[in-house]
Each structure stands twice: as structure tokens, then as C-alpha cells.
Chain A
Amino acid sequence: MSTAEKYVTAAYLVVLAFVLLYVVLYAFKMSRLEREVAELAELAAARDGRQAEPERDRSVVG
């Protein structure tokens, strides 16, 4: 492999590496967003539970 061939291959590999790095970083971002969605779903469920409790108490008394 000549020097020119090595450099040209390196240039194309740099581009490929950047795209791969972007995909990896994006995968991390996606997993963070998934975690946040799960946390918010838990928060929403806990809130629903708190709102449902007084109604349940009322139905026991009634």
C-alpha cells in the first residue's frame, strides 16, 4: 500500500468513525431519554394513586 493509498483510506475511515461516534452518542442519548420517560411514568402513576386514594376511602365509608 502506497503512502497516498494509506492517507486516502484514513480520510474515509475518519468520516466513518465520526458517523459511528455520532450513532454511539445518540444511543446513549436515547437510553437517557428512555430512563426519563420511565421516571415520568412512575411519577404519573404515583400521582394517580394519590388522587385515587381519597375516592377509595369514601367508597369504604359509604
Chain B
Amino acid sequence: MSWWNRPGPSLAVGAFVLLLAGIALAFWWVPEDVDQGFSQKIFYIHVPIALTAYACFGWGAWKSFRLLWKGQEKYDLESYTAIHIGVIFGVLTLVTGSIWARISWNVWWTWEERQLVVFLILFLFYSAYFMLRYSIDPGPLRQRISAVYALFGAVLIPVSFLAVRLLGTLLHPNPLLTTRGPQMSGSMLGTFLVCFAGVIALGFALYQTELAGKRLDRRLRELRKALA
């Protein structure tokens, strides 16, 4: 079996090493931001987690598209797992963002920032996916309805991502990666990239692990039914 089919353990080790290195760089190597001071160091974990959440929701939507296109059952479980992991990263985005807001703006949450509200809508949309999924009996109908719902949510991903760039901002920091290149020093960009690689590897490792567990669970249920 190739590495690509079972990358879970290697990815988990890679994620652990990269995250450890990233945290060490963020806390002890990279200089403090001139405007925000020490609190800006949340950026190195908050932004990669938010980007990984987008990637997971996007991956889930892509797998849903594949299900509707090809009609293969395996895409349903892959889409469901990606959205499951995306929701976990969504919770972490909201929690780390709230902590950053508390230091910088002295509030845990503000409704005036449209990009926060758009991300919350995206998160709640995909959280409701599970309610929809489990309100329908297992089978092709559930797979198709879940896939259509997940695909609709994909529209919100670019809206949420671009909201920081297009809607203007009152309090939320401006994007540091723009079309004019990175708006930060080389050390900050290097630290960010190490953390981003670590978080995306962690996301993929969790996805692979969760998918393997769900597949095993399904096979056991089928086996139990066959033996009964």
C-alpha cells in the first residue's frame, strides 16, 4: 500500500514537529509586531486554523460534487468527514479569534465586523449539516441531500475569505497576504508558513484518521448484519 493511501501516521508526526517548531519560532524568535505587540503572535495559530477550516469545507464540497457527478458512495463518507474536521477547525478559529479580540479590542465578539459575522454564518451553516444529515434515514437520498447542502455552503467560503479584503474593516486586522505580496517581514512570513504547514498537516492527519475510523465502523456494522 502506497504512502498516499495511508499517510496518517507520517502526517501526524510531521504536523507535531512543524507545530512544535512553529510555536517555538512564534514565541521566542520572531520579533513583536510594532502596532499590536505580543498579542499579534496569535496570528501564527489563528490564521492557519481559519485557512484549514476553509480547506476542509472546500474539500467536503468537492467530494460532494464528486458524489453527485459519479454517484459513488465512498464520496459521501469523505465529504462528511471533511466537514466534520472543518467544524472542529471552525470552533478553534472562533475561540482563538475571540481571545485575540479580547486583547486587541477589549471585547470577546463584535457584530459590527462583517467578516466575523460571515465566518460565523459559514460555521453555523456547516454545523447544521449534521442536523440535516441525521434527520434523514441512511441511504442514497441522504447522501444526495447532504451533498447538495454541502455544495451550497461552498459559495460562502470565498465570500468569507474575501470579506476581509473587500468589505473593509473597522477593527479586524487587514490581510497580510495581498496581491502586492506579503505585508510582513521575512521572519514573520517564515514563522507563519511553518505554522501553516503544521496546521494543514494536522488537519489532513485528523481527516485520514477520522475517515479510517468511520470506514471501520461501517464495515463492522455490515459484518454484524451479515453474521446476525
B63: A residues at CB distance < 8 A? none
Tell which of A22, A29, A30, A37 touches B206, judged by Cβ atoms closer than 8 Å.
Answer: A22
Complex Cα distance, B94 from A11, in Å, reads 11
Classify chain B's interface size.
20 to 34
Tell which of B38, B42, B220 touches A37, judged by Cβ atoms closer than 8 Å.
Answer: B220
The smallest C-beta distance from B29 to any residue of chain A, in angstroms, reads 15
Cβ of A40 within 8 Å of any chain B Cβ, yes or no, is: yes
Complex Cα distance, B216 from A40, in Å, reads 13
A7: B residues at CB distance < 8 A? 39, 42, 99-100, 102-103
Nearest A residue (CB) for B85: A22
Contact between chains at B41 and A8 (CB < 8 Å): yes
Cβ of B73 within 8 Å of any chain A Cβ, yes or no, is: no
Given A4-B38, A5-B38, the answer on whether A12 and B45 have CB atoms closer than 8 Å is yes
How many A-B contacts at CB < 8 Å in the complex?
A: 62
Main secondary structure of the interface of A (DSSP, over half): helix
Contact between chains at B227 and A14 (CB < 8 Å): no
Complex Cα distance, B209 from A30, in Å, reads 11
Contact between chains at A11 and B227 (CB < 8 Å): no
Nearest B residue (CB) for A2: B38
Tell which of A2, A10, A19, A40 touches B220, judged by Cβ atoms closer than 8 Å.
Answer: A40
A30: B residues at CB distance < 8 A? 213
B91: A residues at CB distance < 8 A? 18
A14: B residues at CB distance < 8 A? 92, 95-96, 99
Given A4-B38, A36-B220, the answer on whether A18 and B88 have CB atoms closer than 8 Å is yes
Residues of chain A in range 7-62 having any CB-CB distance to chain B below 8 Å: 7-8, 10-12, 14-15, 18-19, 22, 26, 29-30, 33, 36-37, 40, 43-44, 47
Can you identify 26 A-B contacts, CB atoms within 8 angstroms?
A: A2-B38, A3-B103, A4-B37, A7-B39, A8-B38, A8-B42, A10-B99, A11-B96, A11-B99, A14-B96, A14-B99, A15-B45, A15-B49, A15-B96, A18-B91, A18-B92, A19-B202, A26-B213, A30-B213, A33-B216, A36-B224, A40-B223, A40-B227, A43-B227, A44-B227, A47-B227
A-to-B contact residues, CB < 8 Å: 2-5, 7-8, 10-12, 14-15, 18-19, 22, 26, 29-30, 33, 36-37, 40, 43-44, 47
